[in-house]
Structure 1
Amino acid sequence: MGSSLEQFEQIDGVTSRPMMGGYIFYYKKKIFGGIYEPGFMVKITDASRKYLPKAESMPPYKGAKDLVLVDDIDNKELLCSMVQEMYDELPAMKSKKKK
């Protein structure tokens, strides 16, 4: 998958950026998942559980909260629908405090 956004080309507002040897994925400036050592993973939400009911949950790295491992990264329709539905369940970006 690399940092490729082609799985999400059906929806506007998905971006990615390199982070700690992987990539973090955003939808309308909210983090919904990323590429980590185990593979492409998304946050655990009602929507991600609905679309990926049998997917395994695990931390993407030591000390991190569990995420859901996406086992069917080629299903663009599922991914796009899931991310759009996840949006309202995702926390807003934390604003950086100015010094």
Structure 2
Amino acid sequence: MASDRKTVAFIVDQLAAAGEVSAKPMFGEYGVYCDGRMVALICDDQLFVKPTPGGRAFAGAIDEAPPYPGAKPCLLVDADRWDDAEWLAELVRISTAELPMPKPKKPKPNKV
């Protein structure tokens, strides 16, 4: 089941204080990016934040689950926490700071 665009828009709005936040469609669901790093996934209207030591410490007792079959477990942020924009943005800010920048893409060769 694909995530509702309203859910995605709400979560992105709640994360505004974390930095430059956007969501991009990926395989029927959404990847959430903060300052150029993919920090979370929204799958089946659930928010999964990539686990980092700082994010785990900040979140405290939080469930972990894979966002899709075969994926590594992520922090599963309960929908009740989504209304706390300050907490949510801080979790994403901490997690983003610990994630590596994506590798630069190689330019595609020009076809002549």
Structure 2 partner of 1:52: 59
Identity over aligned pairs, percent: 32
Give the aligned CA root-mean-square deviation in angstroms: 1.7
Q: 2:20 aligns with which of 13, 34, 40?
A: 13
Length, aligned pairs only: 99
Structure 2 partner of 1:25: 32
Aligned-partner Cα distance in 2 for 1:11–1:57: 22
Q: Tell me which amino acid in the other structure corresponds to 1:83.
A: V
- Normalised by the length of structure 2, the TM-score is 0.77
Query: Between Structure 1 and Structure 2, whose CA radius of gyration is higher?
Result: 2
Q: 1:81 aligns with which of 70, 87, 90?
A: 90
Unaligned 5+ segments in structure 2 are 1-5
Residue 106 of structure 2 corresponds to residue 97 of structure 1: yes
Q: CA deviation at 1:29?
A: 0.4
Q: Render the CA deviation track for 1:24-49: whole Å, top value 9, x for unaligned.
A: 11111001101013711100112221
Aligned-partner Cα distance in 1 for 2:105–2:29: 22
The runs of at least 4 aligned residues of structure 1 exceeding 3 Å deviation read: none
Residue 7 of structure 2 corresponds to residue 2 of structure 1: yes
